[in-house]
Amino acid sequence: MKSCPCGSGRSYAECCEPYITRAEHPPTAEALMRSRYSAYVEHAVDYIVATCLKQGKQDIDEKATRQWSEKSTWQGLRILSVSKGQREDTEGTVEFEARYEQEGRQEVHHEEGRFKKQNGLWWYEDGKVIPHTVVRSAPKVGRNDPCPCGSGRKYKHCCGKSA
Protein backbone atom coordinates (compact mmCIF):
# COMPACT_ATOMS: atom_id res chain seq x y z
CA MET A 1 0.00 0.00 0.00
CA LYS A 2 1.51 3.30 -1.14
CA SER A 3 1.12 6.13 1.39
CA CYS A 4 -0.33 9.35 0.09
CA PRO A 5 2.36 12.00 -0.49
CA CYS A 6 0.14 14.67 1.09
CA GLY A 7 0.84 13.29 4.56
CA SER A 8 -2.75 12.44 5.47
CA GLY A 9 -1.73 9.00 6.75
CA ARG A 10 -4.08 7.31 4.29
CA SER A 11 -3.16 5.34 1.21
CA TYR A 12 -2.69 7.22 -2.05
CA ALA A 13 -5.55 5.20 -3.60
CA GLU A 14 -7.92 6.28 -0.80
CA CYS A 15 -6.75 9.89 -0.58
CA CYS A 16 -5.47 12.02 -3.49
CA GLU A 17 -5.37 9.57 -6.39
CA PRO A 18 -9.15 9.70 -7.06
CA TYR A 19 -8.90 13.50 -7.36
CA ILE A 20 -5.83 13.44 -9.59
CA THR A 21 -7.43 10.86 -11.90
CA ARG A 22 -10.62 12.93 -11.77
CA ALA A 23 -12.72 10.01 -10.53
CA GLU A 24 -13.81 12.29 -7.67
CA HIS A 25 -13.70 15.99 -6.80
CA PRO A 26 -12.03 17.35 -3.64
CA PRO A 27 -14.75 18.27 -1.11
CA THR A 28 -12.76 21.06 0.60
CA ALA A 29 -10.09 23.62 -0.21
CA GLU A 30 -7.61 21.71 1.95
CA ALA A 31 -8.33 18.47 0.08
CA LEU A 32 -7.70 20.27 -3.22
CA MET A 33 -4.47 21.77 -1.88
CA ARG A 34 -3.27 18.36 -0.65
CA SER A 35 -4.11 16.75 -4.00
CA ARG A 36 -2.22 19.50 -5.84
CA TYR A 37 0.86 18.78 -3.70
CA SER A 38 0.48 15.06 -4.47
CA ALA A 39 0.21 15.95 -8.16
CA TYR A 40 3.61 17.65 -7.95
CA VAL A 41 5.05 14.51 -6.35
CA GLU A 42 3.43 12.30 -9.02
CA HIS A 43 4.36 14.74 -11.85
CA ALA A 44 0.68 15.12 -12.81
CA VAL A 45 1.12 18.67 -14.09
CA ASP A 46 -2.05 18.46 -16.15
CA TYR A 47 -4.02 18.18 -12.89
CA ILE A 48 -2.24 21.21 -11.42
CA VAL A 49 -3.19 23.26 -14.48
CA ALA A 50 -6.74 21.85 -14.64
CA THR A 51 -7.50 22.78 -11.02
CA CYS A 52 -6.70 26.47 -11.48
CA LEU A 53 -9.47 28.98 -12.00
CA LYS A 54 -9.82 29.79 -15.68
CA GLN A 55 -8.36 33.30 -15.38
CA GLY A 56 -5.35 31.91 -13.47
CA LYS A 57 -4.47 29.25 -16.04
CA GLN A 58 -2.87 31.81 -18.36
CA ASP A 59 -0.39 32.68 -15.60
CA ILE A 60 0.96 29.13 -15.37
CA ASP A 61 4.21 28.32 -17.12
CA GLU A 62 3.47 24.65 -17.72
CA LYS A 63 7.00 23.82 -18.84
CA ALA A 64 8.58 25.42 -15.73
CA THR A 65 6.00 23.74 -13.50
CA ARG A 66 6.80 20.35 -15.03
CA GLN A 67 10.54 20.93 -14.57
CA TRP A 68 10.04 21.93 -10.93
CA SER A 69 7.93 18.84 -10.35
CA GLU A 70 10.31 16.43 -12.04
CA LYS A 71 13.63 17.89 -10.83
CA SER A 72 12.57 18.00 -7.18
CA THR A 73 12.59 15.29 -4.59
CA TRP A 74 9.43 16.05 -2.63
CA GLN A 75 9.89 15.50 1.09
CA GLY A 76 6.62 16.45 2.72
CA LEU A 77 3.73 18.79 3.18
CA ARG A 78 2.80 20.63 6.34
CA ILE A 79 -0.52 22.41 6.68
CA LEU A 80 -0.01 25.48 8.88
CA SER A 81 -3.54 26.92 8.88
CA VAL A 82 -6.90 26.61 7.16
CA SER A 83 -9.46 29.40 7.03
CA LYS A 84 -12.91 28.52 5.70
CA GLY A 85 -12.78 26.26 2.64
CA GLN A 86 -15.22 23.69 4.05
CA ARG A 87 -17.98 21.95 2.08
CA GLU A 88 -20.48 24.74 2.76
CA ASP A 89 -18.05 27.62 2.00
CA THR A 90 -17.38 29.33 -1.33
CA GLU A 91 -13.85 30.48 -0.56
CA GLY A 92 -10.98 29.42 1.63
CA THR A 93 -7.33 29.90 2.45
CA VAL A 94 -4.74 27.23 3.19
CA GLU A 95 -1.28 28.16 4.45
CA PHE A 96 1.25 25.41 3.89
CA GLU A 97 4.89 24.47 3.56
CA ALA A 98 6.04 22.05 0.88
CA ARG A 99 9.53 20.72 1.50
CA TYR A 100 11.70 19.48 -1.33
CA GLU A 101 15.28 18.99 -2.42
CA GLN A 102 16.60 20.29 -5.70
CA GLU A 103 20.19 20.10 -6.93
CA GLY A 104 21.34 19.04 -3.46
CA ARG A 105 19.70 21.99 -1.67
CA GLN A 106 16.91 21.67 0.87
CA GLU A 107 14.10 24.08 -0.02
CA VAL A 108 10.77 25.13 1.46
CA HIS A 109 7.89 26.55 -0.56
CA HIS A 110 5.79 28.47 2.00
CA GLU A 111 2.53 29.75 0.58
CA GLU A 112 -0.85 31.08 1.55
CA GLY A 113 -3.11 29.66 -1.16
CA ARG A 114 -6.53 31.09 -1.96
CA PHE A 115 -9.28 28.81 -3.20
CA LYS A 116 -12.75 29.43 -4.65
CA LYS A 117 -15.73 27.18 -5.08
CA GLN A 118 -17.65 27.59 -8.34
CA ASN A 119 -20.45 25.39 -9.63
CA GLY A 120 -19.89 23.07 -6.67
CA LEU A 121 -16.17 22.50 -7.38
CA TRP A 122 -13.09 23.83 -5.58
CA TRP A 123 -10.45 25.69 -7.63
CA TYR A 124 -7.03 27.15 -6.85
CA GLU A 125 -7.33 30.91 -7.31
CA ASP A 126 -3.84 32.17 -6.48
CA GLY A 127 -1.24 32.17 -3.78
CA LYS A 128 1.07 34.46 -1.91
CA VAL A 129 4.55 33.05 -1.41
CA ILE A 130 5.83 33.78 2.08
CA PRO A 131 9.60 34.27 2.12
CA HIS A 132 11.54 32.51 4.84
CA THR A 133 14.66 33.69 6.59
CA VAL A 134 17.80 31.69 6.03
CA VAL A 135 19.74 31.29 9.26
CA ARG A 136 23.48 30.92 8.91
CA SER A 137 24.74 27.79 10.68
CA ALA A 138 28.32 29.05 10.99
CA PRO A 139 29.68 32.50 11.77
CA LYS A 140 30.28 34.78 8.80
CA VAL A 141 33.82 34.74 7.43
CA GLY A 142 35.43 38.18 7.49
CA ARG A 143 37.31 39.51 4.48
CA ASN A 144 40.65 39.43 6.36
CA ASP A 145 40.05 36.06 8.08
CA PRO A 146 41.87 32.96 6.89
CA CYS A 147 39.95 31.30 4.07
CA PRO A 148 37.89 28.35 5.34
CA CYS A 149 39.02 26.26 2.33
CA GLY A 150 42.39 25.78 4.07
CA SER A 151 44.58 27.54 1.48
CA GLY A 152 46.27 29.69 4.13
CA ARG A 153 45.37 32.87 2.22
CA LYS A 154 43.02 35.59 3.37
CA TYR A 155 39.39 35.01 2.43
CA LYS A 156 39.26 38.21 0.29
CA HIS A 157 42.16 36.93 -1.85
CA CYS A 158 40.83 33.38 -2.18
CA CYS A 159 37.23 32.13 -2.16
CA GLY A 160 35.88 35.56 -1.25
CA LYS A 161 37.00 37.15 -4.53
CA SER A 162 33.66 36.66 -6.24
CA ALA A 163 31.58 37.26 -3.11
Q: Please indicate, yes or no, whether the overall pTM of this predicted structure exceeds 0.75.
A: yes
pLDDT (0 to 100) of residue 132: 75
Question: What separation in angstroms does the CA of 136 have from each of 28, 36, 108, 154?
Answer: 38, 32, 16, 21
- The stretches in the chain having pLDDT less than 50 are none
User: What distance in Å separates the CA atoms of residue 63 and residue 125, rounded to the nearest whole number?
Assistant: 20
Three-state SS letters, 18-62: HHHCCCCCCCCHHHHHHHHHHHHHHCCHHHHHHCECHHHHCCCCH
pLDDT (0 to 100) of residue 162: 59
The angle that helices 62-71 and 29-42 make with each other, rounded to 10 degrees, is: 70
User: What distance in Å separates the CA atoms of residue 62 and residue 81, rounded to the nearest whole number?
Assistant: 28
Q: Which helix (H) or strand (E) holds 141?
A: none
φ/ψ (deg, to 5) at 100? -155, 165
Residue ranges per domain, the chain? 12-132, 139-163
pLDDT (0 to 100) of residue 67: 96
pLDDT (0 to 100) of residue 135: 66
pLDDT (0 to 100) of residue 118: 95
pLDDT (0 to 100) of residue 1: 85
- Per-residue pLDDT tens for 38-65? 999 999 999 999 999 976 667 788 999 9
Query: What is the third-level CATH fold of 12-132?
Result: Nuclear Transport Factor 2; Chain: A, (3.10.450)
User: What distance in Å separates the CA atoms of residue 128 and residue 80, rounded to the nearest whole number?
Assistant: 14
pLDDT (0 to 100) of residue 26: 98
pLDDT (0 to 100) of residue 155: 83
pLDDT (0 to 100) of residue 54: 78
